[in-house]
Structure 1
Amino acid sequence: MKVAVYYNNKDIRIEERPIPKIGDNEILVKMMASGICGTDLLEWYRIKKAPVVLGHEMAGVIEETGKSIKQYK
């Protein structure tokens, strides 16, 4: 899958990452859109965590559910 990875305010890269494996109590969501807000780009906050995948305001469809998930499909 493609992800936007923050290294610093002048270095944000689109990279390929493996699709994560899910556990029994998890849901895999295929991202259709993801927002990047101002806090995603506050260098004093992000630089200590870099590299980090950006985006946390997302919309998507359920791709897979863990064995224990019953209410979502």
Structure 2
Amino acid sequence: VDGVFADEHTRTAVCEWTSFKPGLGTVLRGVEVYRFNDAGLIDEVRVYYASRRDDTAPANELEGYPYAERGFAT
């Protein structure tokens, strides 16, 4: 998990993540948006990838985004 952002008024949270796959030598980045019900339980999850998944690319992430400069693990 690279970061979590939440808004209690809309009962929504966003989790920014990086998935390292050392055996394959690849990286996959994305975010998940969570919506919570009145009881505080997750009732919806939406997943977004930084780029189209490409198993031939060493890093599936936003092209040109300065991940290292912004403090993300690389």
Coarse TM-score class (shorter-chain normalised): under 0.3
TM-score by length of structure 1 reads: 0.28
TM-score by length of structure 2 reads: 0.28
Which is bigger in relative contact order (C-alpha 8 A, separation at least 6)?
A: 1
User: Which structure shows the bigger proportion of residues in helix conformation?
Assistant: 1
